Structure 1
Amino acid sequence: MSGLSLVATFGIHLLLIAFMCYSCNGVASPVDCERAINCPADEHCFTDKYLNANGHMLYNLGCKSDRICKLLSTLGGKRDLEEVLGVKDKRSVIHLCTKCCDKGYCNNALCTDSTTPAPNMQCYKCDDIEDLAACETLVACPEYNECFADIFYNDRGDIRHKLGCREKQRCRQFLALGAHVPHGKRQGFAQLCGGCCDSPFCNIKGCETIDHVTLGHHASVSPSSSG
C-alpha cells in the first residue's frame, strides 16, 4: 500500500501504515526527482523549496516526522521555518516553501507552480536485484510505454528481478503469446517470468503480482512489502 492509514478499533488502537515518498536533494524541480523511498510509519512526505548560496532555486524532497510537519503548518515566518528545519548556516540558504503531504508519492506536486507539467508515467527501474525493496529508482517512461517486471536467472544462476519501461505493443504481444514465446538460455540469462502493467509505480511488487507470463519453473519469489 502506498498510503498512510489510521485505523481505529473502539477508539483505542491505531495502526500506522507507511507509504512511499519521493526522495531527492538539490533538484531543479520536484518533477525531476527519480527516486522514492519507503518512509517510516510516523513520517510524512515533504518538499523544501529554497535558494542556495549561488542564488539557484532548488528542491529537497523526502520524509519528515509527523511532529515536524505539524509544526510547519503553524509557522509564521522564515526564522521559525529555519529553526524547525535545523538549518546549520542560515546565511547560505533561503527557504521559500516547505510543505508536507500525507499520501503516497504526493510530494512532487508541492511548492511548485501549478502549471509545471507532470512527468510521463513513472515506473521503477532496477537491473539484476535480489530484493524488490532495494529498488528506489524511478524513471519517466517514453510515450506509448508502460511498466514491466521480469524474473530471470542471471549468469551466476541466481534468481533476480528487472524492472523498467517497455513498449506497450511489445507487452501486449508478449502477454498474448504466453508460453509460446521463445525462451531459454540466451545472452547469459534465462527468463522465468515477464509481466507488464499500465499505472504509475505498478511494477514495484514484481512480476508475479501483475499481468504476467510464466516462462520457466522456479521457486516463487515473494514480493517485498515496500509500500
Structure 2
Amino acid sequence: MLVVIICSFIFPAVNCLLCLQCSGISQPRHCKSVVECDVDKKCGVEQISVSNGQHLYDVGCFAMQECASNITKSGECRECCGKTLCNAQGCNEPGYPDVMGPICYNCPMSTNPSLCSSIEFCEVGQVCEYDFRREFGDLVYSGHCAHQQICTQNSASSAQIIGRDLDKRPSIVEHVCHGCCDLDLCNKQCAQTVKNPCAPDPCVHGQCVSTQDNYTCSCDSGYWGSNCSFNPCVPEPCEHGQCFSTQYNYSCSCQFGFWGRNCSINACDPNPCEHGVCDPVLDNYTCSCDSGYEGRNCSVIIDPCIPDPCVHGQCVSSHDNYTCSCDSDFWGRNCSFLPSTDCYGLQKQNLGLPSGVYNVSLWRSHVKIPVLCDMTTESGGWTVIQHRYDGSVDFYRNLSEYSDGFGDVSTEFWLGLSYIKEIADNGNTTLRMEVSAADESSAYEEWPEFRLGDAPSYTLHVGGRGIGTAIDYGRFFERNNNGADFTAKGSHCGDFLHGGWWYAGCTLINLNGEYATPGTVSAYHSGEGGMVYYSFKENASLKTSKIMIRRNT
C-alpha cells in the first residue's frame, strides 16, 4: 500500500496532473483543494457572472474540447494550462506571490492518504511536514505546514523510536516515517531523499513526465528538443504569412499574393501593369486594365475607331472613346441618321429617341435649326414651338422678332413664325397647348388641321373645335382667333395685352402675355395681359405653358 502512495505522489506528473478544484470562489488562487486530473484533461479557470455584476470563478480539470475555446457559451472567459497548480491564475486574475513558502497538503489523521485533497499556503521559513504511523494496525497519515526547526526536531525524535521494541510488548502506535520537504505538495511521500526530476520544471514549452531518476518532455505544438525549447517559427521566418513548425523544420502558409519559401515574393511588387491594377494569383498575376488599354501588362492602347463605328462620317479617337465627324446631311452618334424636317420625322427614324434638343432640316428651305422634341406626350413626335416656365425670357416683342424667333430651345423660347409655318405646311398638322397653374393642376387642348398663312400676317387657320381638358371657352379660339393675323408689340391688342398672338378682339387665350407670379393677376388690363388661359384659370397667371405641333402623316 505504501509503495503505491509513494509512486502516485512522489512523481505527480506520471500520467496525471494536479490542479486546483473549487467552485464559486472570488479568485482562483484562494482555492485550497486539489484534484488529480485524467490524462485527457488540463487545469482550467472559468469565469462566472453573478447578479450583482461581480465575477466568481470555477477551477478544476477541463476536457480538451472545452479548452479549445477561450470563451464559454455565455461569453465569459475560460483559460487552460498544463502544469501542476497552474490554474491558480487566469482570466486576468493574479497567481501566487513570488515570495511565499511551499504549498503543502493539509490533512490531519487521514487513514487514506490518497484521499487527502486539502492544501495550505506556508509562510516563508516554513516547510511541508508529513507523518506516517500505524495505530491499531491502520496506517494514519498527517500533513501540514511547519517551521523548519520544529519539523527537523520532530523528525529526529520520531527517528529515535521508529522500530523500538519496548519490553517486547506489542505497540499500539508504531511510527513508519516522519520528515520535512520544501517543494510544493511534497508531503505525501515517506522518503525525504527522493528528488523529483520535474521540479523545477525543465520543459520550457511542454509538460514534464518523470521517470525513476530522469524525465522526458511532452512538447507543446510547434516546439521540440529535449527541453521543448526550440521552435523553428521563432523568430517568425514567414515575411507575409503564417509559420507552421514540423519535426525539425517549418513551412509557411503565405498571405494571398505572396509566395516563396518565406512568403517574401509578390508578383505585383513592383506593379507590372503599366496602365492597370495588378491582381496576384498564386505565384503569378493578372492585370485589370484601365479603360482604353489591353494586353498582358495593359501596355497596348485600344483604338476605339477600329472597326470604324461612323457609318457616314470620319471617326476621331480620344483615348478610350471616339467622336464621329458626320458627312453632310447625316447626324447621330454614329452618323447613321439622315436629317429630318421635324420631331415627327426623327421619331419615325428612331422610335427610341428620348425627349430633347435635336437638329432638323426644314423640308422646303433646307434651313437647319435646333428644335425641342417631346417624344413622350401622346406617343411623342411633337415639335415644341413655345415653352415658358420661369419668366426668364421677355415675350413682349415686335412682329419681326416673333417671325424670326427668340430665346433658347434649351430654356424659354418662341421658335419663330416662319419656321412654324414651314413645319406645319409639310402635312396635316395638330396644334396642342399645355398649361399648368400655381396649384400644380394642369390641362391641355388640341386643334386639328393647324396651319399659318403667308408672312407677314401669318394668319391662323384651325380646322375644327378643340378637344381636351383646358376647354376652348365659347369656342373662342376656333371661331374668333381662327382667321386672325398675328400681331405683337406696337399693335393695339399687342400693347393692350402685353404680348404677341392671333388677337381678335382681343383673346381669351394669351400664352405670350406677361409672366407674372403664378396665381396672381397681371397689372395689364385687369389680368388679361398676363400669361392666361381663361377657361382654365380665368385671369390668374399660369405657371407653365407649352405649345407643340405634330404632323399626322
Q: What's the TM-score, normalizing by structure 2? A: 0.29
Q: How far 1:60 moved relative to its partner?
A: 0.6
Confirm whether residue 203 of structure 1 aligns to residue 180 of structure 2: no
Q: What residue number does 2:177 align with?
A: 193
- Aligned-partner Cα distance in 1 for 2:13–2:150: 31
* Aligned counterpart for 1:51 among listed residues 39, 42, 49: 49
Confirm whether residue 145 of structure 1 aligns to residue 126 of structure 2: yes
Confirm whether residue 101 of structure 1 aligns to residue 81 of structure 2: yes
AA in 1 matched with 2:55: M
AA in 1 matched with 2:125: Y
**Alpha-carbon spacing, 1:210–1:58, altered in 2? closer, same or farther (3 Å):** same
Q: How far 1:3 moved relative to its partner?
A: 3.7
**Alpha-carbon spacing, 1:107–1:147, altered in 2? closer, same or farther (3 Å):** same
* Aligned counterpart for 2:37 among listed residues 39, 51, 60: 39
Confirm whether residue 163 of structure 1 aligns to residue 143 of structure 2: yes
CA contact (8 A) 2:158 2:178 kept: no
**Alpha-carbon spacing, 1:60–1:135, altered in 2? closer, same or farther (3 Å):** same
Whose radius of gyration is greater, 1 or 2?
2
CA deviations 1:102-130 (Å, max 9, x no partner) are 12211112123448736642101112223
Q: How far 1:139 moved relative to its partner?
A: 0.7
- Aligned-partner Cα distance in 2 for 1:115–1:63: 17
**Alpha-carbon spacing, 1:115–1:38, altered in 2? closer, same or farther (3 Å):** closer
Q: Share of identical aligned residues, percent?
A: 25
- Aligned-partner Cα distance in 2 for 1:174–1:165: 13
Q: How far 1:48 moved relative to its partner?
A: 0.9
CA deviations 1:181-217 (Å, max 9, x no partner) are 69989xx85533211101111113x2x23259xxxxx
**Alpha-carbon spacing, 1:115–1:62, altered in 2? closer, same or farther (3 Å):** closer
CA deviations 1:131-155 (Å, max 9, x no partner) are 222111111123321101101233x
Confirm whether residue 135 of structure 1 aligns to residue 116 of structure 2: yes
Q: How far 1:165 moved relative to its partner?
A: 1.1
Structure 2 unaligned segments of length 5 or more: list them: 1-10, 167-171, 195-553
AA in 1 matched with 2:183: S
CA deviations 1:34-66 (Å, max 9, x no partner) are 000001110111001222123332111001111
- Aligned-partner Cα distance in 2 for 1:191–1:148: 14
**Alpha-carbon spacing, 1:45–1:140, altered in 2? closer, same or farther (3 Å):** same
AA in 2 matched with 1:167: H
Look up the SS of the partner of 1:31 in the other structure: helix
- Aligned-partner Cα distance in 2 for 1:62–1:203: 21
RMSD over aligned Cα atoms: 3.0
CA contact (8 A) 1:203 1:210 kept: no
Q: What residue number does 1:30 align with?
A: 28
Where relative contact order (Cα < 8 A, 6+ residues apart) is larger, the structure is: 1
Decide which structure has greater strand share.
Answer: 1
Q: What's the TM-score, normalizing by structure 1? A: 0.67
CA contact (8 A) 2:133 2:140 kept: yes
CA deviations 1:63-92 (Å, max 9, x no partner) are 11112212x14x5xxxxx21xxxxxxx6xx
Q: How far 1:176 moved relative to its partner?
A: 5.1
Structure 1 unaligned segments of length 5 or more: list them: 5-16, 76-80, 83-89, 213-227
